[in-house]
Amino acid sequence: DTGVSQDPRHKITKRGQNVTFRCDPISEHNRLYWYRQTLGQGPEFLTYFQNEAQLEKSRLLSDRFSAERPKGSFSTLEIQRTEQGDSAMYLCASSLPRGQGDHEQFFGPGTRLTVL
Amino acid sequence: KQEVTQIPAALSVPEGENLVLNCSFTDSAIYNLQWFRQDPGKGLTSLLLIQSSQREQTSGRLNASLDKSSGRSTLYIAASQPGDSATYLCAVRLWGAGSYQLTFGKGTKLSVIP
């Protein structure tokens, strides 16, 4: 499968714990995005990487959230001191470099986070 | 701030019918618009992407149109099938240096009844 992959697919944690999610983009894609989706809503943008550089961050990305893409390949999203309001589906997407592929974003299967 | 609205929120049709899903956006300075499909508890599958300079795109039984000046897009599904049952989301990307984020609507939940 050459699509975007995410791990884990499901995560249940207790309030106050830290969690980390991983995203592996499509191999030739240098752009990577994180979104969050709550029940009945459309996805909301969190942050964007071009290669290893984090170029855009939403105000939704509070100081408890941090994202990295150290080698410009996979990315991690960490949530510290989780709160019940963090319960959501966390989606990762990737797209080709500028000038290729019309900037179409391709999404992974998501990580469903439940905070008890 | 860009806002994206999808109407109706839910739609139920008998198998074989043609149908239209609507998407409207408040800021017409868009770079492109994407239509996605989402099955329950799953990620998003890209269906069609329309650049701001284009009027429509077609893929199989799907046709998406874009009227940037009026801030509207439609997704036309021909000869609907039960397998088309899913939530359909539209998303727009604005023009702007360094802005690559998509702004999504809440989606239209489609049920195709056999």
Q: What is the pLDDT of residues B94-103, one digit of tens each?
A: 877 667 899 9
What is the structure's pLDDT at A89?
97
Q: Which residue of B has its CA nearest to A40?
A: B106
Low-confidence ranges of chain B (pLDDT < 50): none
Q: What is the pLDDT of residue A82?
A: 97
Q: Is A30 left (phi over 0), alpha (psi -120 to 50) or beta?
A: alpha
Q: Identify which has the larger pLDDT, A72 or A101.
A: A72
**Do the Cβ atoms of B22 and B6 come closer than 8 Å?**
yes
Tell me what pLDDT residue B1 has: 83
Beta carbons within 10 angstroms of residue A107's beta carbon:
23
Is the distance from CB of A29 to CB of A48 less than 8 angstroms?
no
Q: Which residue has the tokens 């855009």?
A: A56
Q: What is the pLDDT of residues A76-93, one digit of tens each?
A: 999 999 999 999 999 999
CB-based contact B100 A33, cutoff 8 Å: yes
Residue A97 is predicted with a pLDDT of 76
Mean pLDDT of chain B: 94
Instruction: Give the per-residue pLDDT at A1.
Output: 55
* Nearest CA distance, A110 vs chain B (angstrom): 5
Q: What was the pLDDT predicted at A4?
A: 96
| pLDDT value for A99 | 67
Give the 3-state secondary structure of residue B30.
strand
* pLDDT digit string, tens, across residues A32-88: 999 999 999 999 999 999 999 999 899 888 899 999 999 889 999 999 999 999 999
Distance CA B29, CA B36 (A): 21
Q: Which pLDDT does position A96 carry in this prediction?
A: 85
Query: Can you give the pLDDT at residue B93?
Result: 92
So what's the pLDDT on residue A102? 67
The residue of A103, A104, A106, A112 whose CB has the most chain B CBs within 10 angstroms, and thus the best one to mutate to test that interface, is A103
CB contact under 8 A, A44 and B98: no
pLDDT-derived band at A2 (thresholds 50, 70, 90) equals confident
Give the pLDDT confidence score for residue A13 in this predicted structure: 98
Chain B residues touching residue A45 (CB < 8 angstroms): 101-103
Among B26, B92, B103, smallest CA distance to B64 is for B92
